[in-house]
Chains A and B, each alone.
Chain A
Amino acid sequence: MATAALDFLPAPLRSLRLKTKQQELLLRVSALALIYVLAFAVRLFSVLRYESMIHEFDPYFNYRTTLFLSENGFSEFWNWFDSESWYPLGRVVGGTLFPGLMVTAALLHRLLRALSLAVHIREVCVLTAPFFAANTTLVAYAFGREIWDSGAGLVAAALIAIVPGYISRSVAGSYDNEGVAIFALLLTFYLFVRAVNTGSLAWALASAFGYFYMVSAWGGYVFIINLVPLYVLVLLVTGRYSQRLYVAYNCMYVLGMLLAMQIRFVGFQHVQSGEHMAAMGVFFLLQVFFFLDWVKYLLNDARLFKSFLRITLTCVITVGTLALVIGTASGYISPWTGRFYSLLDPTYAKDHIPIIASVSEHQPTAWSSFMFDFHILLFLFPAGLYFCFKRLSDATIFIVMYGLTSMYFAGVMVRLILVAAPAVCLISAIAASATIKNLTTLIRTKSKSPQVTSGKTTGSKAAAKGAVDQSLPFQHNAAIALLLGAFYLLSRYAIHCTWVTSEAYSSPSIVLAARGHNGGRVIFDDYREAYYWLRQNTPPDAKIMSWWDYGYQITAMGNRTVIVDNNTWNNTHIATVGRAMSSYEDEAYEIMQSLDVNYVLVVFGGVTGYSSDDINKFLWMVRIGGGVFPVIKEPDYLVNGEYRVDKGAAPKMLNCLMYKLCYYRFGELTTEYGKPPGYDRVRGVEIGNKDIKLEYLEEAYTTSNWIVRIYKVKPPKNRS
């Protein structure tokens, strides 16, 4: 068939005639190459629209540390004590971060410099996440091929290249741990499944290295160290114990654990923390299984083995439970930390740890978020589960478990949709690939004339299909219609993903854009304006107090010392800042004197309608401050349980430091045509206290759209 089709080509090209296997290889390689480029290109919207800059808050810390690493070398970086944040405590940076991302970007930068391409490290940082997203598609292809077949692998690569759940955290400029971590996660899982399938020590060693890369990149490695033992347990319970599993898990666990303990931030948690105990328990269980298996093989006698089994099991169970009880009761094995415990009990954080509950990414997921981030994958996922259960093997059991556990966690916390995205893509790819394969097979079989009489079954597939074709005359047409429907759905998916990426996930958050009256685009670059003012107009040892959201950006761009930043490792320090913001000016002045504060920075959106400002975050400041200092009570700031800033607001609210700093001189400003002066465009009301006088602070700088306001703390008055 293929040879006849090429007869119209001139003679020299005809010699390029490829055999079917080579054609297939060419198609596969070109499809993968296009998918690779697509995954990189679709993430570049914000670079093209704005400029090549780092987005959001956390990436600024990562950028600052990468800059430090590339300038001072690895040893300085690993032992770095940063005195510019968390004044006066400082922060041991080397021991409290996950170095994987920074080391990767620094290595890439060095490689490019070695190839004489002199790029600035910021460009490398901005484009690290899209580069690793493209690599993830290759790993997804290999994983899909391992679980099902190469067709499913290709579909998985294509789906994961544009799935919005993954794009949201790996767009160009989003220089955050997850960009690299998802690549490491999928790579570890792929290498482990390959090790279980082949039983080879080399693949298990590779998966241990993959796990090491994951531990160095993200705190979410806890998911791997719990999912893999759970998977081994499920295999043991369903009677699928095999010696390949023993080899794979043991090598990965011992080597992976040792490698992981080299990261200072993780330390000894693998042997002391309750979150890692499942892996150790399964390790011992596997030794018991292997031992029993070996004794059974040696004895060759069922009755003797049964008595041996009884003795061993009782011993093992008593020793195991004793160790667990003693460990937990004596406090040696620490219980699950709040961050991960709130995944099992979603109401825990709201009651006990307000700082975890206040982060918007930690809220439970709404149905609309699932649809927004997954689109057609939502209904392809159950279909894929059905296919996996039809062809159960060690590999499909793994992907089913990964899919179900990650979907549960994605339902608990919005941020974890990212972890579920690869599983959903793989399982949906199985469904899509298997369905399309069946449909195309139906189209390609010719309807044979009935050689076989009705009662006989020859057992050959073609004859059976011929018999089936006889009974359903429209099967051929139905298959074509269904195939067209499948292609339509996939094309809608592609359109949806591109639209979502363009509209929702490509905003840098530090530069805001809006539509003006005449439809033209208006850019608000107030944040960078304020940070550069700080950099150029304040003394180098000035200390800035602001809410913790802006800490990383102030240190990275303003190059000044901050009191608290996004690391949020010291709740009392943050509560002190929260208390200062919610007190009257004189009490706040005492707190600021004790912290050596020189400047205060607040974010105010009332003039532009920017709703993520400090007045909207104020109640969280009160709650966190009140959690440590009972003198701050939340009901003092509310009227009948309602949060108001207009004339009817609580007197404490109208006179607290945050209110005064945000609305200073705002009462004279007219923000909207037809509204009185002092009309707050975010809250939609006229403010209550227009005549604000500051006694201990003076206004230093307000940006052009009033978004960031900086105040200087006056030194104490001279005694007369």
Chain B
Amino acid sequence: MPRATSDAKLLIQSLTKAYAATPTNLKIIDLYVICAVATALMQVAYMGLVGSFPFNSFLSGVLSCIGTAVLAVCLRIQVNKDNKEFKDLPPERAFADFILCNLVLHLVIMNFLG
């Protein structure tokens, strides 16, 4: 048991230390992702309280949060300078793709909201 707790403490310490070293632009994207997922969880909790009618509105709300979170993670992957697979991709192109996908996502959500 003490081995496990000391392991866990060591784990958390090294994680926080390594995370503090990431560049600021990636941290901003991470914050955006966390906000979006938190919004989705709040919507699910609200659905648990009042029921899921109309279902299409609930789905569109949750999926818009999850969708934009996922797209932000994709942007983070493409913009991260340590990623060897994407080193030929200019970050402006990655951001433009992100904006385009978000535009399509939200247009569909607006149609689906009912």
- Interface residues of chain A, those whose CB is within 8 Å of chain B, are 199-202, 204-205, 208, 242-244, 246-247, 250-251, 254-255, 257-259, 261-262, 268, 271, 290, 295, 297-301, 304, 307-308
Contacts and interface: CB of A to CB of B under 8 A. Distances in A.
Nearest to A208: B104
A244 B85 contact: yes
23 contacts: A199-B78, A199-B85, A200-B97, A201-B75, A201-B100, A205-B100, A205-B104, A208-B104, A243-B77, A243-B85, A246-B73, A246-B74, A246-B77, A247-B74, A250-B71, A254-B71, A255-B101, A255-B105, A258-B108, A268-B56, A271-B59, A299-B15, A301-B14
B18 A201 contact: no
B100 A251 contact: no
A250 B94 CA distance: 15
B105 A254 contact: yes
Contacts of B71: 201, 250-251, 254
A258 B18 contact: no
A255 B109 CA distance: 10
Contacts of B14: 299, 301, 304
Contacts of A205: 97, 100-101, 104
B108 A262 contact: yes
Contacts of B100: 201-202, 205
Chain B binding surface, main DSSP class: helix
Contact of B83 (A204, A243, A251, A290): A243
A308 B11 contact: yes
Contacts of A255: 67, 101, 104-105, 108
A695 B41 CA distance: 70
The CB with the most chain A CB atoms within 10 A, among B10, B11, B55, is that of B11
A499 to B, nearest CB: 47
Interface in B65-81: 66-67, 70-71, 73-75, 77-78
A28 to B, nearest CB: 27
Contacts of B85: 199, 242-244
Given A258-B108, A295-B15, A307-B7, A201 B94 contact: yes
The CB with the most chain B CB atoms within 10 A, among A201, A254, A301, is that of A201
A258 B101 contact: no
Contact of A199 (B67, B86, B108): B86
Nearest to A243: B77
B24 interface: no
B112 interface: yes
Nearest to A291: B73
B108 A304 contact: no
A255 B98 CA distance: 13
Interface string B87-114: 0010000100110110011001101100
B108 A298 contact: no
Given A201-B78, A243-B85, A258 B105 contact: yes
Chain A binding surface, main DSSP class: helix
A488 to B, nearest CB: 45
Given A258-B67, A268-B59, A299-B15, A247 B112 contact: no
B63 interface: yes
Contact of B18 (A200, A204, A268, A299): A299
Contacts of B53: none
Given A255-B104, A257-B63, A304-B7, 4 more contacts: A200-B97, A255-B67, A262-B111, A290-B73
Nearest to A304: B11
A201 B63 contact: no
A251 B15 contact: no
Contacts of A261: 56, 59, 112
Contacts of B75: 201
B63 A258 contact: yes
Nearest to A308: B11
Contacts of B108: 255, 258-259, 262
A307 B6 CA distance: 12
A205 B100 CA distance: 9
Contact of B112 (A242, A250, A262, A271): A262
Contact of B63 (A199, A244, A250, A254): A254
A251 B112 contact: no
A300 B14 CA distance: 9
A171 to B, nearest CB: 35
Given A202-B97, A255-B67, A301-B14, A250 B74 contact: yes
Contacts of B67: 254-255, 258
Contacts of A244: 85
A298 B63 contact: no
A246 B77 CA distance: 9
Nearest to B70: A250
Contacts of B63: 254, 257-258
Nearest to A268: B55
A271 B109 CA distance: 16
A201 B11 contact: no
Given A242-B85, A258-B109, A201 B7 contact: no
The CB with the most chain A CB atoms within 10 A, among B10, B67, B111, is that of B67
A200 B85 CA distance: 11
A258 B71 CA distance: 14
| List of 6 A-B pairs having minimum Cβ-Cβ separation, nearest first | A201-B97, A298-B18, A254-B67, A247-B74, A250-B70, A258-B108
A287 B5 CA distance: 27
A151 to B, nearest CB: 27
Contacts of A268: 55-56, 59
The CB with the most chain A CB atoms within 10 A, among B10, B73, B75, is that of B73
A262 B55 CA distance: 13
A251 B18 contact: no
A307 B11 contact: yes
A470 B91 CA distance: 55
A242 B86 CA distance: 11
B10 A304 contact: yes
Contacts of B104: 205, 208, 255
B18 A300 contact: yes
A243 B11 contact: no
B70 A251 contact: yes
A191 to B, nearest CB: 14
